[in-house]
C-alpha cells in the first residue's frame, strides 16, 4: 500500500481500540486498489476529535463505546435509523458535513433475518446503552412484538422498553424467553465481568436461540454455553464484520463480493 498526499483517511474512535477494523478495511483497500488508509484511535477529547474530522478532511469514522451517544450533538445530520435509535456508530464526512449512521442496526437486522426465528418468539434483550438501542430497534422493525428489556439502569431501561412497547425488568430473575440477546459488556475479554454468563444457565437451556454482541472473545461464555446445548447462535464477531462491511461501502462507494468479504473477515480475525 502506497501512501501519498491524495490518500483518503478513515479512522475509528473507541475507548479500547482493536485491530479488527484496521485489518479489515486496509485489507479491502489494498485488494481493491483504493488509495485509502484506516487507523484505530482513542481520545479523551471527543469534541476535539470530531472537529478534527472536518479540519483534516477525514472521510469516515467508526464510533464505539463510550462515544455512540455522546457524539450526537457534535454532528450535522442523523440518518433515519441513527435518529430513531439515538446512537451512532458511523460518521461520514460529506464535504465537511458530518452525517451519522448506525450500521450496527443494519447488521443485527440482517442477522435476525438469517436466524429465521419466528416473530411470535418472546425476546429478552439485556442492556440499555447505544448497542442495545440498535438491537432493540432491529428487533422491533423485524416484527418481534413480545419482548422485555433487562437493564439495571431503570431510567434508560424503561425508556428503551417504552419506545419498543416492550416490558422492563431490572434483572433476569423470573424472566423466560425464546431468544436471548446480550448487548452489555458481560463476558468481554479484559472486562470486569469476563468469564460471566450474560444470562443464567437455566434461561439459556430453555431458550431457542442466542445473540451476543460482545466480539472479543468470539466465543463468549454465553455463546459457548448455547453452542454446547445446540442452540442457534449469532456472535458479536458476525455483527462486527457485517457492520464493518456497511461502513466500508459508505466510505468508498464500493461493495466487495462475498468471497472478498469472507477473506477480509478471516484476515481481520487472524490479527
Q: Partners of 92 in the beta sheet?
A: 60, 99
Query: Which residues participate in catalysis according to the annotation?
Result: 68
101 vs 21: CA distance, rounded Å: 17
Q: How many CB atoms lie within 10 A of CB 209?
A: 20
Q: Partners of 168 in the beta sheet?
A: 149
Angle, helices 258-270/236-252, rounded to nearest 10 degrees = 120
Burial 82-121 (b: 16+ CB within 10 A, else e): bebbbbbbbbbbeeeebbbbbbbbbbbbbbbeebebeeeb
Amino acid at each position: 500500500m502506497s501512501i501519498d498526499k491524495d490518500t483518503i483517511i478513515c479512522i475509528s474512535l473507541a475507548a479500547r481500540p482493536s485491530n479488527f477494523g484496521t485489518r479489515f478495511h486496509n485489507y479491502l483497500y489494498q485488494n481493491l486498489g483504493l488509495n485509502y488508509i484506516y487507523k484505530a484511535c482513542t481520545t479523551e477529547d471527543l469534541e476535539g476529535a470530531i472537529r478534527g474530522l472536518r479540519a483534516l478532511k477525514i472521510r469516515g469514522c467508526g464510533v464505539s463505546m463510550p462515544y455512540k451517544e455522546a457524539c450526537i450533538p457534535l454532528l450535522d445530520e442523523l440518518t433515519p435509523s441513527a435518529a430513531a435509535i439515538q446512537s451512532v456508530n458511523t460518521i461520514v464526512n460529506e464535504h465537511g458535513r458530518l452525517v451519522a449512521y448506525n450500521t450496527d442496526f443494519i447488521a443485527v437486522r440482517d442477522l435476525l433475518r438469517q436466524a429465521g426465528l419466528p416473530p411470535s418468539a418472546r425476546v429478552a434483550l439485556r442492556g440499555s446503552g447505544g448497542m442495545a438501542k440498535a438491537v432493540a430497534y432491529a428487533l422491533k422493525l423485524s416484527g418481534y412484538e413480545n419482548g422485555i428489556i433487562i437493564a439495571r439502569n431503570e431510567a434508560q431501561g424503561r425508556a428503551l422498553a417504552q419506545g419498543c412497547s416492550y416490558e422492563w425488568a431490572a434483572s433476569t430473575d423470573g424472566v423466560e424467553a425464546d431468544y436471548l440477546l446480550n448487548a452489555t459488556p458481560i463476558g468481554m475479554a479484559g472486562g470486569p465481568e469476563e468469564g460471566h454468563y450474560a444470562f443464567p444457565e437455566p434461561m439459556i437451556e430453555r431458550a431457542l436461540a442466542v445473540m451476543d454482541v460482545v466480539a472479543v472473545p468470539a466465543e463468549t461464555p454465553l455463546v459457548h454455553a448455547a453452542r454446547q446445548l445446540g442452540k442457534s447462535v449469532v456472535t458479536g464477531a458476525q455483527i462486527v464484520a457485517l457492520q464493518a462491511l456497511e461502513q466500508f461501502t459508505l466510505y468508498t462507494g464500493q461493495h466487495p463480493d462475498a468471497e472478498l468479504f469472507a477473506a477480509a473477515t478471516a484476515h481481520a480475525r487472524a490479527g
